[in-house]
Every structure is written in structure tokens, then in C-alpha cells.
Amino acid sequence: DDASLVERLGHRVKLYPGAYDNIKITAPDDLALAEILLQKRGG
């Protein structure tokens, strides 16, 4: 993954906490999940 590549290049990778529902939409199933999450938020 990207983090492994950055580490191999000698750079330090930092992790930051994030929201579980902050998803990346790359496939139709992801869009369906996003719609469910928005409905739960009232959006």
C-alpha cells in the first residue's frame, strides 16, 4: 500500500485517528453503504 512505499523510501508514516464512517467510495457497494450512513445521520 501507499504507506509501505513511503516507508521503503525512508520516510516516516504517521497514523491519525479517524471516523469509522469516513469511507472511500470506489465501488457500487460502497455507495450503498454511504447511503445507509447518511440516512442514520439524518442526511
Provide the residue-wise pLDDT of the chain in tens; the chain has 43 residues. Answer: 899 999 999 999 999 999 988 999 999 999 999 999 999 988 6
- Residue 9's pLDDT is 98
* Stretch (H or E) spanning 34: helix 28-41
* Stretch (H or E) spanning 3: helix 2-8
- Residue 24's pLDDT is 92
- φ and ψ at residue 19, rounded to 5 degrees: -80, 140
